[in-house]
Amino acid sequence: MTIALVSEIAAEEDDLSVWPASTTRLPHGGLAVGGVSLADIADRFDTPAYVLDEGEVRARCRAYRGTFPDADVLYAAKAFLSRTMVRWVAEEGLGLDVCSAGELELAVTAGFPPDRIVLHGNAKSPHDIECALRLGVGRIVIDSPSEIARLAALVGPHGRQKVMIRVIPGVSAGGHEKIRTGTDGQKFGLSLTDGSAQHAIARLLTQPQLHLVGLRCHIGSQITDVKPYVAALRRMVGLMARVRDTHGLILPELDMGGGHGIAYRPGEPTLDLTALARGLRIELAASCTAAGLEVPRLTIEPGRAVAGPAGVALYRVLAVKNTGDQVFVAVDGGMSDNPRPALYGVRYAPRLVGRHSTVDTRTATVVGRHCEAGDILATDVELPGDIRPGDLLAVPVAGAYQLSMASGYNMVGRPPVVAVDGGTARLLVRRETLDDLRSRDIGE
């Protein structure tokens, strides 16, 4: 291995750009997040475990509030939700975007104001809708024509519920085809191009129990370019103008969803929030001026961009296997706590922590413990050549869509969530135990 290549690999290993801002280096190869050693967290809470940096979450909430001072910012609960996360979001002035009665109940029972919550989803159950109405949710997003009459009936003749229509604007964006939601041919929303959205609006306006206050779109996830958002906004304003011309109704709200891209590995692109805010603001003013519309109140819904970079996943190495030219490093977690690599090929950058190795690195594949060939957490990663059972691996950018998508596969139990801040670690969500799993099984 040449000196230049060794230096390049060392620089990559030393790059903490995708880690929480509070991350610091400790002697002997250790790392601390929020002033707490990751190795100490692993010893105290065992592994696998998720570490969530409170300061990073709050800083990202504040960055959104500061960048979009004239907009409503809703945290997308599906990224990760807990009672403490609800409190952090509320204290930082964000609203909440939920997609189930479970998320909604947790938020409200944790003290979040229901009028600052939006419920959406392509297939809301009667329980979801009844829960939203009972708790007084701020807005319900209509996703299909069948929801209109159903929702109106549940509201009742003397009630009135603010609603929005989810529109497919015909803009393709996102890091993978499975997370692109702005074009026709998928399950979300009502099409702008085939007239479904316009027809649904006309039907909705015949229901006096439903108060249409605006339109919503969500064009995809892991988007790092401003242009698709600007294009979608232009089309959404065009539809708002048609609603005014056809029905004499001026809609005061426009929700542009989320999907803001973040870097999972050093050097990957991210969405520039300042550029996004400027692009949306300029296009909104120009499009509304051209259409003779009042500028609506803008809403955005970041989830991953708030929680993702604040999280770190910790795993213990269980086995190292050399198969031909491949090196497999098996850890004590896997697709049960992070299915995203198997679902849509997300790539991570695991790092050895807790000890310093002077051995040259080698390319390895980090795999999980589950009975699936697709149980792979990270491919083609550089790890020390002496990686061995008992070593601790830390995976940054683990705060979103990992534990929230976790399953009970192989009955290994879901990991805990540990919050760190100011040198203190505390448990937010405890580890799922075998007793938890057995308690649900009530058959004889």
Given 286, 305, 324, the domain boundary residue is 305
The domain that holds 385 is classified in CATH as 2.40.37.10
Q: What are the helix (H) ranges across 18-53?
A: 38-45
Same domain, 299 and 321: no
Residue 155 one-letter amino acid: V
pLDDT at 421 over 50: yes
Catalytic residue among 131, 217, 288, 371: 371
Domain-terminating residue out of 305, 338, 368: 305
One domain, residues 166 and 290: yes
- Enter the pTM of the model: 0.93
Note down the domain range covering 75. Answer: 54-305
Cα 362 versus chain centre, distance: 32
Please check whether residues 320 and 413 belong to one and the same domain: yes
Same domain for 132 and 8?
no
Tell me: the pLDDT tens digits for 183-241? 556 678 999 989 999 999 999 999 999 999 999 999 998 999 999 999 999 999 999 99
* Same-domain check for residues 26 and 77: no
388 and 420 belong to one structural domain: yes
Q: Examine the domain organization and report whether 341 and 368 are in the same domain.
A: yes
pLDDT, tens only, 120-175:
999 999 999 999 999 999 999 999 999 999 999 999 999 999 999 999 998 876 55
∠ Cα 243 233 101 (to 5°): 80
Domain count, the chain: 2
- For residue 88, what pLDDT is reported? 98
Residues 40, 81, single domain; the answer is no
- Please check whether residues 109 and 167 belong to one and the same domain: yes
With beta carbons less than 8 A apart as the criterion, state whether 29 and 352 touch.
Answer: yes
Query: Each residue of 240-269: pLDDT tens digit?
Result: 999 999 999 999 999 999 999 999 999 999
Q: Are residue 403 and residue 282 in the same domain, yes or no?
A: no
Residue where a domain stops, chosen among 288, 305, 322 = 305
Q: How far is CA 6 from the centre of its chain?
A: 35
Element (H, E) at 145: none
Q: Are residues 189 and 97 in the same domain?
A: yes
- Together in a domain, 209 and 82: yes
* 371 classed as catalytic: yes
CB atoms within 10 A of CB 142: 25
CATH number at residue 216: 3.20.20.10
